[in-house]
Amino acid sequence: MPRWQWLMAQLTRRLWVRATLIGALGVLAAILAAVVDRYIPLGMPGRIGADAVDSILTIMASSMLAVTTFSLNIMVSAYGSATSNVTPRATKLLIEDRLTQTVLSTFIGSFLFSIVGLVVLKTGAYGERGRVVLFVFTIVVITLVVVSLLRWIDHLTRLGRVGETTVRVEEAARKAIEMRLAEPYLGGTALSERVSSIPETIVAVTGDVIGYVQNVDMPALSRLCDKHNTRIFLNVIPGTFVYADTPIACIGASDGDTDLDALRKAVSAAFSIGDERSFDQDPRFGLAVMSEIACRALSPAVNDPGTAIDVIGRSTRLLSIWAHGRRNGSYQEEPKHPNVHVPPLATADLFEDAFMAVARDGAGLIEVQLRIQKALLALARMGDGDFKSAALRQSRIAFDRAASSLPLEADRARLHELVVDFGAAAEYRQ
């Protein structure tokens, strides 16, 4: 997506942005009650005493400050629980939770509304009609606070729990997979073979920083291609870890009057590289985080195979979306940026991120290995040749790990019987 759009999406997920906007609305509402005084008809019924509004605003200000502080403590505890019981990579999704941000922003906005309302009220800026407007705004704010409290109470029962966090990771991974299926080459042209498809006359572009590729501004690269009559070949896609000297892209032959140094800097600027991976354009990251949740559950400190089995089922569901999309050809017909060549997302990498670590840590648990084999063998029946090959490869690796780790011969025989029923026994060793 365009760099400005990606930066805007990252900005709007910050808690302070939403809190600032809603807080500003609260301040604006308190000031507006004094400004609109002159526009209210003289015959408007209702008389509100200054003491009545003062008491309500005082109660609201003190209570909202306490509620906000208490809610922030709960948030910090939930993030700590998710970090220790799930995975630190999933904490980002909790921080960006819109309901949590909206509720806290409402509390902060109501607190600021009360404080500003009290200050303006003490200065005598509110007339009789202004106090009526302030009272109406106060009732509206109280209603919003009550609704937010009810939503917050319901949300707290799930915030930071393993199951709820797993659902959030699955949803983020699903969105990334569907986005990649809609634009498998980020809107560019397929680069099937990274080396042989690139012409010999090229100029390599490095990122000059170390980190993960978080976003690629494809429209900007396309404009550079049109301006300089050239083609750009990407060596990396979102989620790739690059070093300062890693060639992130290559520029083909261009106009003779092109300033290659300036063009190289412009191409490099189209890549957003940061310290952490992003869920948005990186389907592999979502599957890797799901795998981390399963591995944490299989650790001796947690010892929760049930969660690992649940994660295997969720990973299977995610990969089935990938298989369905590839099988039904849910790809873009015409590339939006034909001069930008992008390598594909390898199906084998998706399977490796989803199952390799889980199969390793659960090698000695027959219930986990049975679920892994059932999932992988079922996935092998869903997709194309590459999809089946990737599923069977992980199945063989998991089987070999289990064969050397399961203590009972009966468990090993049961696992072998499962793959025999699938009809692939010749590909597995006894």
- pLDDT tens for 359-380 read 999 999 999 999 999 999 999 9
Whether 382 and 298 share a structural domain = yes
pLDDT digits (tens, 9 = 90+) for 206-243: 888 999 999 999 999 999 998 888 889 999 999 999 99
- Residue 246 DSSP label: -
Domain boundary among 232, 255, 274: 274
Neighbours of 191 (CB within 10 A): 20
Q: Give residue 88's pLDDT band: very low, low, confident or very high (50, 70, 90).
A: confident
Domain boundary, last residue among 231, 251, 274:
274
Same domain flag for 67 and 19: yes
218 domain-assigned: yes
Q: Determine the structural domain holding residue 201 and report its residue range.
A: 187-274
Pairing outcome for strands 247-251 and 337-342: unpaired
> Would 365 be classed as within a structural domain?
yes
Same domain, 116 and 236: no
Residue 182 lies in a domain: no
Is 290 found in the same domain as 382? yes
The pLDDT, as a whole number, for residue 312 is 96
Task: Using the 3D structure, point to which of 274, 299, 315 is the last residue of a domain.
Answer: 274
pLDDT of 324 higher than 50 = yes
Task: Verify that 46 and 112 share a domain, yes or no.
Answer: yes
Query: Which of 25 and 370 is assigned the larger pLDDT?
Result: 370
- Beta strand 337-342 with 232-234 is parallel
Q: How many independent structural domains does the chain possess?
A: 3
The pLDDT confidence band at residue 35, using thresholds 50, 70 and 90, is confident
pLDDT value for 329: 63
**pLDDT classification of 159: cutoffs 50, 70, 90:** confident
Q: State residue 45's pLDDT score.
A: 46
Q: How far apart are CA 321 and CA 315, in angstroms?
A: 10
pLDDT tens per residue across span 286-314: 999 999 999 999 998 888 999 999 999 99
In the three-class reduction of DSSP (H, G, I as helix; E, B as strand; rest coil), residue 216 is classed as: strand
Distance CA 96, CA 98 (A): 6
Asked if residue 258 and residue 308 are part of one domain, the reply reads no
**Cα gap 332→187, rounded to integer Å:** 8
Residue 165 belongs to a domain: no
145 and 243 inside one domain? no
Residue in the block written with tokens 């597995």: 428
Q: 244 by DSSP, 3-state: which?
A: coil
CATH code at position 213? 3.90.1170.30
pLDDT value at 67 more than 80: yes
Q: Are residues 10 and 153 in the same domain?
A: yes
Domain identity same for 55 and 92 = yes
Whether residues 15 and 114 fall in one domain: yes
Token pair, residue 181, equals: 């299926």
Residue 93's pLDDT is what?
86
Band (178; pLDDT cuts 50, 70, 90) = very high
Whole-structure pTM value: 0.82
State the sign of the Cα–Cα–Cα–Cα dihedral 113, 114, 115, 117: positive
Percent of residues, the chain, with pLDDT higher than 90? 36
Residue 150 lies inside a defined structural domain of this protein = yes
Question: What are 186-211's pLDDT values in tens digits?
Answer: 888 888 654 445 555 578 888 889 99
In a domain, 300, yes or no: yes
For residues 248 and 357, membership in a common domain is answered with: no
Structural domain includes residue 330: yes
Counting other chains too, the contacts that 251-260 makes at CB distance below 8 Å and 24 or more residues apart are 251/202, 251/203, 251/205, 252/198, 252/199, 252/201, 252/202, 253/199, 253/201, 253/202, 254/228, 254/229, 254/230, 255/228, 255/229, 255/230, 258/228, 258/230, 260/203
Q: Which residues of 17-52 are buried (b: 16+ CB within 10 A; e: fewer)?
A: ebbeebbebbeebbeebbeebeeeeeeeeeebeeee
How crowded is residue 408: how many other Cβ atoms within 10 Å of its Cβ? 9
Cβ atoms of 263 and 251 within 8 Å: the answer is: yes
Same domain, 263 and 308: no
Q: Which of 3-12, 72-81, 366-375 has the lowest mean pLDDT?
A: 3-12
